[in-house]
Amino acid sequence: MRVVLAEDQALLREGLVSLLEAGGLRIAAAVDNGPSLLKALLEHRPDVAVVDVRLPPSFTDEGLRVVLEARRHIPGLPVLVLSQYVERLYARELLADGTGGIGYLLKDRVFDAAQFVDAVRRVAAGGTAMDPEVISRLVARGADDDPLARLTPRELEVLELMAQGRSNAAIAQRLVITERAVVKHTANIFGKLGLAVSDDDNRRVLAVLAYLDSR
């Protein structure tokens, strides 16, 4: 699996490269600024991009803008965003076209090597990997017209874990329920959110988008 990595801090970039290589992934390019990231993505067309939101030259949302531009040339490019902050707009924009894997991890989580590499692989496979703290902060931003209000508390718990990229088996273990119960809850979630029958992986991503969009 080939990875393009973008991180402007040299020591952190080297540490991430080491973690990914130790996890069996191949680094196609490791860059430290927006223009170099766009060039690397278009040249290497990697299996997944791991990108810091704030890159030179702007140090604002350069990383985000580059991957959105790259996705116009490489539809569905899987992207794992790294950030020091929780900013819902970033995750929402990347999910907006409903294609390609997306992840959002806070930087203080990435040195849990197993969790980080698992998140990269999950995103590369087209899934989601949302940091639990990101989800918790999004949940705290409830709105009066929340379209998820029709979901039960248990269904919201299942959807939150789906947003973290957990499988049905992992959700069942976390909530101490059966996988059959998880399947029933996810079916209810899809139905209540008006997601037509299709590939379940796609519906999971769309459900997560609805979740993020409502917070």
Q: Rounded to two decimals, what is the model's pTM?
A: 0.71
pLDDT for the residue 143: 46
pLDDT for the residue 48: 97
**8-state DSSP, 97:** T
pLDDT for the residue 116: 92
Q: Which residues neighbour 37 within 8 Å (Cβ) at sequence distance 6 or greater?
A: 4, 6, 31, 49, 51, 55, 63, 66, 67, 70
Ranges in the chain, pLDDT < 50: 142-144
Q: pLDDT tens digit string along 41-67?
A: 999 999 999 999 889 998 888 898 899
Q: pLDDT tens digit string along 86-95?
A: 665 665 666 6
Give the residue among 213, 190, 214, 215 at the shortest CA–CA distance from 93: 213
Q: Which domain holds residue 88?
A: 2-136
Residues 38 and 111 in one domain: yes
Residues 32 and 113 in one domain: yes
pLDDT for the residue 94: 64
pLDDT for the residue 144: 47
pLDDT for the residue 127: 83
Residues 127 and 149 in one domain: no
Residues 37 and 122 in one domain: yes
Q: 110, 136, 162 — which closes off a domain?
A: 136
